[in-house]
Structure 1
Amino acid sequence: MHPLLIIIPILLASSSAAAAQCHPDDEAGLLGFKSGILSDPSGMLSSWKKGSDCCKWLGITCLSGTRVTALYLSGQPNNRTTALSGTISPSLSKLSHLGGLYLLDLIHLSGPFPTLLFALPALQYVYINNNNLSGPLPPDIGDKLARLDVLSLEANHFSGPIPASVGRRMANLTRLQLGGNRLTGAIPATIQQLRNLNQLRLERNQLSGPVPDFFAHLTQLGWINLSHNRLTGSIPPSISALASTLSYLEMGHNSLTGQIPEFLGKFRALDTLELSWNRLSGAVPKSFANLTKIFNLDLSHNQLVDPFPQMYVRGIESLDLSHNRFHLGSIPRWVTASPIIYSLKLAGCGIKMRLEEWKPAETYFYDYIDLSENEITGSPVQLVNRTEYLVGFYASKNKLRFDFESMRRFPKSLKELDLSHNLVFGKVPGAASAPGLAKLNVSYNHLCGQLPPTRFPSSAFAGNDCLCGPPLPKCM
């Protein structure tokens, strides 16, 4: 079970965790932490008052009588009023029974890596995510934190290399989560020594060099995310050792080359495969027919070629094959038959069909549909009218031909609509000015007549036959 799921219910009951006053060392350590906080606009630490029982303070858990065993403070990622500004005081080293430190989404918490953690003998779980910590990770971090089960420092500003010591002595580590920083250099080979590792998440850094071929030693891995780095070379063959355990494999937005390995088709438990924005070539393996449980498949922006294999997915949620060298002809049957799908992106996939002839089994849940840069004819009106939660519909650079005024109803959820570079005619309907619509592009069609009141720029309507009225020239 995720350690957070263990801690959170305990926190909710922490007010009754101890009848006695908390240990004076713990009180002093926590008040020292509070003194390092310069701004607390939400009053997160308002219950932290000297002389009161610190086991009853917000975010504090005491499972060892009067000793603090967990510190959990969490803001809201997009709400700066829940942020904390300041630094992590070394006084937390007084919390000698602390097993879990959770400082999540506090945004403005700054300073270097808190080496005070090295002095906490009971520490097992470290989650310091979405803050503003910076500087290098200590070279001996793995030696000093050998007891950890989880090391999560995601979404900070740490820089420099991943220390080789991370894999040297951390035999108990199940999660290594360093994504969203500014880490550089190669992925250290010592990570292969983390035999209990379940999650390896190093995404959104500046890591370079080949993906290490060490996964045969990491047979417990269920999640690998190395996306948004500068990694090169091919997908290493040792990943084949994870066929029975791996659920998430994300390596998109790198510079990987070569073909997609045939062995990936043996990963029957695979939920997500994300290999977009690389330089992968060749055909997608026929063995992908075995991926019956996959929910999210993104192979977009590579150099993949026909034929695309027949798949037997029971219900895909998200599919992106855009901008390869496919000539699909039509939307695959297994996609059309999916009972629940949120995002379908097949831009530039060589689709030649009349849109009215596509009759998906379910359209209710669609969030995004991108069919841009194909040779699709007909009208999207029937399709769009069947959706309830559509956020974005993109069909630019096709051969759609229909009266735009027939699109009288836009889903209330629709935020973006792109029908540019088609053969759309008629007037722009008033629905195109719906308050929820954030982006509209109907440029380079055959629209005519006076525009309804609109907040969109002239570029959204450019290149039509005879549109007029603000923001275009006024009608004569």
Structure 2
Amino acid sequence: MDTRPFLIFTLLFSTINIHSSHSELCHPQDKKVLLQIKQAFNNPYVLTSWDPQSDCCKWYFLKCDGTTHRINSLTISGGLSGEIPPQIGDLPYLQTLVLIKHENLRGPIPPTLTKLKNLTYLTISWTNVSGPVPQFLSQLKTLLSLDLSFNSLAGPVPHSLSQLPNLNSLHLERNKLTGPIPDSFGEFRGDDFYLYLSHNQLSGKIPASLGKKDFAAVDLSRNELEGDASFLFGTRKTTRGVDLSRNYLEFDLWKVEFPRSLRWLDLNHNKITGSIPVGLTELKLQKLNVSYNRLCGKIPVGGELQRFGYSAYFENWCLCGAPLVKSC
């Protein structure tokens, strides 16, 4: 009996199997961890593509590094519930971690994230994650951006976050944070820094140390802050936006020198006194609101100031001139 066809078939089948096994790019350890994460989330529908029989570099929400074939990005929007599993810390090559719009995601941020020594972008936003903003996040020295906005985080803002040497964007807005803004927040080293702490319950004075930092944008609105904030401005700065609205801030607006780069300024619902500086007419403002304060005097004419309309100026003590109806 001629056995050659059988041998040829056997060799061909073995070759196909060997080629198939070697064609999978995903690192086996990463694949194991991802399947553990899927199980920890109770095998949600959104992770259906995470099939153990397929290459995890081709699964949805993931990106593999083209050289090492290790998972370097995990971005999932919607569909997860339960707590963030600690196994996420076992993806050592992860550079981007984004969990956004998961209303049924709850519990604390796991400390195993400190094992992600290559992480540059961390976003956990629009969830019901609770507990404090963890102190241990200051161990993620490679972070460029930290976004924990729109959650249920409570307690103080950790001063240790200023120890992140490369951070240039911090979003903690729309949580339940209390206490003062840390004095150390004037020590952030990242250039073009964006600081967003709005819609919390922060109280006390804005630390004067923040005046040392040239922020790209600052949003401290809708808190319980008081006292001076004029040091956030200055002609030598390159700040593009400042929102201090709905606090209890008190300073003389007339004495403030604004950066020429300023494009939006919102100071409404405070206790700000003085009059509107003529220097604002020289700025290319796209947004301005100084309503509900204690301003007096004539609104300067020129630039963009009359374009913003009545609502940008009303409910002040004795402010007058266009676009207000009250003449001077």
**What's the TM-score once normalised by structure 2's chain length?**
0.79
Extract unaligned runs of 5+ from structure 2: 1-21
Q: Are positions 1:314 and 2:317 aligned together?
A: no
Residue 179 of structure 1 corresponds to 149
Residue 13 of structure 2 corresponds to none
- AA in 1 matched with 2:312: K
Shift of 1:293: 1.4
SS in 1 for 2:140: coil
Shift of 1:37: 4.6
Give 1:144-163 correspondences, 5 Å limit: 144-163=115-134
1:58 and 1:142 map into 2 onto residues whose CA distance is: 22
- AA in 1 matched with 2:262: I
Shift of 1:191: 1.4
Residue 294 of structure 1 corresponds to 262
Partner residue of 2:63 out of 40, 61, 79: 61
Distance 1:263 1:351, change over 3 A: closer
Shift of 1:190: 1.6
2:86 and 2:57 map into 1 onto residues whose CA distance is: 24
Residue 284 of structure 1 corresponds to 253
Verify the 8 A CA contact 2:26 2:64 in the aligned structure 1: no
Partner residue of 2:313 out of 342, 346, 363: 346
Deviations 1:20-43 (A, max 9, x none): 334483666667739945445xxx
Give 1:10-159 correspondences, 5 Å limit: 20-23=23-26, 25=28, 33=38, 36-39=42-45, 51=53, 54-64=56-66, 67=69, 97-104=70-77, 106=78, 108-132=79-103, 133-138=105-110, 140-141=111-112, 143-159=114-130
SS in 2 for 1:224: strand
- AA in 1 matched with 2:237: R
Partner residue of 1:251 out of 211, 220, 229: 220
Q: How many residue pairs are counted as aligned between the two chains?
A: 299
Verify the 8 A CA contact 2:276 2:300 in the aligned structure 1: no
2:196 and 2:94 map into 1 onto residues whose CA distance is: 25
SS in 1 for 2:285: coil
Residue 406 of structure 1 corresponds to none
Q: Percent identity?
A: 28
1:336 and 1:323 map into 2 onto residues whose CA distance is: 17
- AA in 2 matched with 1:162: V
SS in 1 for 2:114: helix
Distance 1:39 1:332, change over 3 A: farther
Verify the 8 A CA contact 1:141 1:163 in the aligned structure 2: no
Deviations 1:394-437 (A, max 9, x none): xxxxxxxxxxxxxxxxxxxxxxxxxxxxxxxxxxxxxxxxxxxx
Verify the 8 A CA contact 2:155 2:178 in the aligned structure 1: yes
1:199 and 1:237 map into 2 onto residues whose CA distance is: 20
Q: Are positions 1:215 and 2:185 aligned together?
A: yes
2:180 and 2:68 map into 1 onto residues whose CA distance is: 50
SS in 1 for 2:24: coil
Shift of 1:239: 1.2
Deviations 1:348-385 (A, max 9, x none): 244545x7xx6xxxxxxxxxxxxxxx6459xxxxxxxx
2:310 and 2:170 map into 1 onto residues whose CA distance is: 26
Shift of 1:60: 4.3
Deviations 1:222-250 (A, max 9, x none): 1001111111111111112212xx11111
SS in 2 for 1:208: strand
- AA in 2 matched with 1:170: L
1:65 and 1:334 map into 2 onto residues whose CA distance is: 54
Deviations 1:84-111 (A, max 9, x none): xxxxxxxxxxxxx21111113x1x4211
Residue 395 of structure 1 corresponds to none
**What's the TM-score once normalised by structure 1's chain length?**
0.56
SS in 1 for 2:141: coil
Q: Are positions 1:232 and 2:232 aligned together?
A: no
Q: Relative contact order (C-alpha < 8 Å, sep 6+): which is higher?
A: 2
Residue 366 of structure 1 corresponds to none
SS in 1 for 2:160: helix
Verify the 8 A CA contact 1:21 1:66 in the aligned structure 2: no
Extract unaligned runs of 5+ from structure 1: 1-18, 68-96, 359-373, 378-476
1:342 and 1:99 map into 2 onto residues whose CA distance is: 49
- AA in 1 matched with 2:201: R
1:215 and 1:209 map into 2 onto residues whose CA distance is: 14
Distance 1:58 1:100, change over 3 A: closer
Distance 1:129 1:57, change over 3 A: closer
Shift of 1:122: 1.0
